[in-house]
Structure 1
């Protein structure tokens, strides 16, 4: 269980009211696991620092690469999971087909969460429903404070439907300032939109991958999990 998956569980349960059984089915985990994390009210998973050896160790990267390649091929030309399992076995994998299938389910769910689309293409909406989304960005400005010209980091939060905006200035762009700006904006608006739209700022994204792949910062993910909105980049 990682921060991203816990955030998905919290959104589906508290915001969308998806039943525990359905959450467990979608994510390929047990209902007890889902129930435990919901009852704990944790926004960041807590678990002992240990790693249980898995037969997929040493094959997970190759398997993820194969799934990515197959997803780009025409449907009739794709290998089935049974064929992929057989190919892994030929390379020394000794695990079962079920283990490969479970890995594939998790991988597809992660891809779906990243792309937020089940169609063959993506689009940028020009209209937004009330409360659907907000946008966040930083800018720099200057002010005279105690007679001294001082550079400020200004947090901009804007509602995508009404274009109502909220500004708050800081001396630095840190996680504490990022969290503070969101808190005061949500308090001023009297609610939290379903989606937040960001650029690849360092306080949110540790690494930009290919396409829409992002390695999201764990502290930023904890904030998203706490407020129950979807973050898009």
Structure 2
């Protein structure tokens, strides 16, 4: 009995089912029926199906860059094999029988949100620990409890009924290496707004985009640059981060890396170009009857006066 489904095995068929597995069974409306430990003969048909699927799909063993690529390939291969495998009970292939049955099938409901939940307390440095690694959390939740939702490929941190942040999950079973610390520099903006000096050597801000790093190098050379840099970074809390980043890049290209210029560029990017002005219909009395002609001979008159003096 896999540990993702059963927390404890009792006598006979008694099982203490994992809470999340029970929630999944309730979501998809199926009943659990567990075999005895180390008794594969109790589910011989399942074992045979697994053996056949392994031979069809996993020999030789393919490689995939991520879980999404694996699932996409698996779906494609299964659908292809439905057209090759005979149903066994009904005439035709699995695909033929599926085509007949599909008109009677109900649509699938929403997918089960399959995560394992843990309660964590955020450290004073705005970090939570999981599997020997540490992940940052918005500074406003320092020293407070949060809910950590663990997925196969990511971690989602929630509190007070809202999603706070999300990180890619670091999976490293080697105990030879020290754990990693994963920062999101946006989580520490509230800290540097109070203490701008922390921006200079703060580890979280080493992960900023290159344009922000270049801007920081320019601003920290002058008095008050810490505060000005923090105010520019804080713009991502109010505006789209990509728009702020584009404004910074344009300011650097123009050679004017200042907060005022960046704000000017940002507002133009957000508001878009001003629409072309419509032609003004001037009254007839204000219209010129004859277009003026440039007369350069008057400059000769001025030269003559200068020589006379």
Interval of TM-score (by shorter of Structure 1 and Structure 2): under 0.3
* Bigger Rg, which one: 2
User: Quick check: which one's strand share is greater?
Assistant: 1
User: Could you tell me the TM-score, scaled by structure 2's length?
Assistant: 0.20
Q: Which has the higher contact order (CA 8 A, sep 6+)?
A: 1
